[in-house]
């Protein structure tokens, strides 16, 4: 295998195995914040991406995407259960998201998590040139930084956590809290979405490892680890190019027509995940219908909920609850040919998402907890026209940057109802001022700015950042599926 001087290690490659209409197999960009963010910068950067290609069994042969080499890591069925569905997504994911769902502590999963982290570390060690920079991503791979350091002390190692890092009182529940903390602190730079996360880690490093720690620097085992906040972003140029393309504009027009030319379209786009607050949102919307504040003949809600982690029990239960609630709301409030909620449990191409964003009068992004939430940023970037209102949860990392959104506490259903009504009735001039301010922020804080800031903090020289493209991709190439 050829070696690279920049290696990214993430649980998932930016690909989803997908059956084409003619039955052939094709690869599409996988939904999810991490894949969206990294794909945008790496497609034009000479680097290697180490990750799982989805599915079980031997790793597939994958061709390069532009300058980017793909190094797939295989998982067996048992590993998928213990590592991905189990420890990563039934223990760490709920715990790190404020335990909005009870985390499961299954002693059998730990060993598999460790073994799979080791496999990722070995793959990264194999494809990294001497002295290369290796950038490890997210909670799935929290042990990789230290494992990699043991294998390859010559490497510069970064780690970025895309999800929230919890306060000590929650983290302390983890049975393997010391190993996980030590694993992550094997990196030279540990980045988070929000400064509070770096503060939480500093407190834990003092308490669990006896380290000397501030919110920027932790000294552990005689090594210095830098920490800090680097809020992730989106490919603003891609979203702007897509949303001003004639094709997308005509798709948006058609969508509005297909929705029955309502006065108002409310839109939500999420992975079908219990952290996204979909149930709270449905409750608020159904009460607005019940109380007569919203009428089906002039307002339509579109809920896109792309399937996610479907083998995990809590996700199956959530899907059943949501689908039964959507059915109840449509049964009670819908009319022939006029459902109250259009529920779409499907993946969409980037151009289709851009058309949906164009169609929305109110974008409702109300997670109970979210590391960042790129959908909120995509919506703002897509609205060159300055139209549309963004209702955004205070518990999304994005709320710290998109301050002009209609901010809301999604746990407070009455407050959520009021905020939705406020956003629906806001004056166009108010909406336009809010959207312009948020768009200006995003233009200066896009995905390239994020990667540059992180890589410069990692190597202190700016040489790594120089390998990034000058501008993120402008052509909407990602809307076209890749073929095997």
> In the complex, what is the shortest distance from the CB of residue 419 to ligand F6P, in angstroms, rounded to a whole number?
25
- Of residues 355-374, those binding ligand F6P (CB under 6 A): 371
Angle between helices 177-184 and 195-209 (to 10 degrees): 120
Beta bridge partners of 11: none
Number of chain positions touching ligand ADP (CB under 6 A): 16
Residues 293-332, interacting with ligand F6P (CB under 6 A): 308-309
Place of tokens 């190692």: 157
Cα 354 to Cα 48, 214, 275, 432, distances in angstroms: 29, 42, 23, 19
Report the C-alpha gap between 357 and 260 in whole angstroms. Answer: 17
d(CA 201, CA 213) in angstroms, rounded, equals: 9
Nearer to ligand ADP, 186 or 191 (CB): 191
d(CA 68, CA 469): 13
Residues 254-283 that bind ligand ADP (CB under 6 A): 269, 271
For tokens 């603003």, the residue is: 236
* Beta-sheet strand order (sheet of 4-12): 68-73, 47-52, 4-12, 128-137, 156-160, 189-192, 223-229, 217-220, 212-213
Binding of ligand ADP at residue 479 (CB under 6 A)? no
Q: Which stretch binds ligand F6P (CB under 6 A): 17-25, 31-39, 115-123, 261-269?
A: 31-39
**What does 97 bind: ligand ADP, ligand F6P, none (CB cut-off 5 to 8 Å by kind)?**
none
List the x/- string, 368-407, binding to ligand F6P by CB under 6 A.
Answer: ---x------------------------------------
Q: Binding residue for ligand F6P (CB under 6 A) from 138, 238, 270, 378?
A: 138
304 binds, among ligand ADP, ligand F6P, none (CB under 5 to 8 A by kind): ligand ADP
Give the residues across from 135 on adjacent strands.
8, 158
Selection from ligand F6P, ligand ADP, none that 373 binds (CB < 5 to 8 A by kind) is ligand ADP
Q: Which does 44 bind (CB under 5 to 8 A by kind): ligand ADP, ligand F6P, none?
A: none
Residue linked to tokens 């890591």: 73
The correct pick among 4, 11, 36, 101 for binding ligand ADP (CB under 6 A) is: 36
- Identify the active-site residue in 97, 140, 162, 199: 162
In angstroms, the CA 276 to CA 293 distance is: 24
Rounded CA gap, 137 and 172, in Å? 22
Per-position x/- string for 300-329, each x denoting binding to ligand ADP as judged by CB under 6 A, each - no binding: ----x-x-----------------------
| Residue 162 appears among annotated catalytic residues | yes
Q: How many residues does the chain have?
A: 484
Residue 303: CB minimum distance to ligand ADP, A: 11
In the complex, minimum distance from the CB of residue 316 to ligand ADP, in angstroms, rounded to a whole number: 18
DSSP count for the chain of H helices, then E strands: 17, 18
169-177, 366-374, 380-388, 463-471 -> range binding ligand ADP (CB under 6 A): 366-374
Residue 252 CB partners (closer than 8 Å, separation 6+):
355, 356, 358, 359
User: Pick from 6, 15, 35, 269: which binds ligand F6P (CB under 6 A)?
Assistant: 35
- Which residues partner with 407 through β-bridges? 392
**445 given a catalytic annotation:** no
Cβ–Cβ under 8 Å, residues 228 and 192: yes
Question: Which structure tokens are listed for 338?
Answer: 């006029």
Helix (H) or strand (E) segment spanning residue 387: none
- Give the footprint of ligand ADP on this chain (CB under 6 A): 31-33, 36, 269, 271, 304, 306, 347-348, 353, 372-375, 378
Residue numbers annotated as active site: 162, 370
- Give the footprint of ligand F6P on this chain (CB under 6 A): 12, 32-35, 138, 162-163, 271, 308-309, 371
């Amino acid at each position: 295998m050829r070696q690279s001087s920049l290696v990214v290690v993430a649980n998932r490659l930016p690909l989803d195995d997908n059956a084409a209409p003619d039955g052939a197999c094709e690869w599409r960009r996988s939904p999810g914040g991490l894949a969206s963010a990294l794909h945008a910068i790496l497609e034009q950067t000479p680097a290697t991406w180490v990750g799982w290609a989805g599915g079980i069994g031997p790793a597939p042969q994958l061709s390069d995407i532009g300058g980017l080499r793909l190094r797939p890591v295989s998982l067996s069925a048992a590993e998928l259960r213990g590592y991905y569905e189990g420890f990563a997504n039934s223990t760490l994911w709920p715990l790190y998201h404020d335990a909005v769902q009870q985390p499961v502590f299954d002693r059998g999963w730990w060993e598999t998590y460790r073994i799979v982290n080791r496999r990722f570390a070995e793959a990264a060690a194999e494809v990294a040139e001497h002295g290369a920079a290796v950038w490890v991503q997210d909670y799935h791979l929290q042990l990789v930084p230290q494992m990699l350091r043991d294998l390859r002390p010559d490497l510069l190692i970064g780690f970025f956590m895309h999800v929230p890092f919890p306060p000590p009182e929650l983290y302390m529940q983890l049975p393997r809290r010391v190993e996980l903390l030590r694993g992550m602190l094997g990196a030279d730079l540990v980045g988070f979405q929000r400064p509070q996360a770096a503060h939480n880690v500093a407190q834990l490093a003092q308490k669990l490892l006896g380290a000397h720690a501030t919110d920027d620097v932790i000294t552990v085992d005689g090594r210095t680890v830098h920490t800090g906040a680097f809020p992730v972003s989106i490919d603003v140029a891609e979203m702007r190019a897509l949303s001003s393309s004639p094709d997308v504009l005509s798709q948006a027009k058609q969508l509005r027509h297909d929705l029955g030319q309502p006065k108002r379209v409310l839109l939500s786009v999420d992975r079908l995940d219990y952290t996204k607050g979909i149930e709270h949102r449905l409750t608020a919307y159904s009460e607005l219908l019940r109380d007569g504040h919203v009428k089906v003949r002039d307002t339509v809600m579109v809920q896109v909920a792309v399937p996610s982690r479907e083998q995990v029990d809590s996700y199956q239960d959530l899907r059943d609850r949501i689908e039964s609630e959507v059915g109840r709301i449509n049964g009670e409030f819908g009319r022939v040919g006029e459902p109250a909620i259009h529920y779409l449990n499907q993946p969409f191409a980037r151009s289709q998402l851009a058309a949906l964003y164009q169609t929305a009068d109110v974008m409702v992004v109300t997670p109970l907890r979210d590391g960042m939430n790129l959908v909120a940023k995509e919506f703002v970037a897509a609205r060159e026209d300055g139209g549309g209102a963004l209702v955004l949860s205070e518990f999304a990392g994005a709320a710290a940057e998109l301050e002009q959104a209609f901010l809301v506490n999604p746990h407070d259903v009455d407050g959520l109802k009021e905020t939705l009504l406020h956003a629906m009735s806001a004056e166009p001039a108010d909406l336009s001022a809010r959207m312009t301010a948020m768009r200006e922020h995003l233009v200066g804080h896009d995905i390239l700015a994020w990667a540059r800031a992180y890589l410069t903090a990692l190597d202190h020289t700016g040489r790594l950042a120089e390998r990034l493209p000058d501008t993120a991709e402008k052509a909407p190439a990602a809307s076209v599926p890749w073929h095997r």
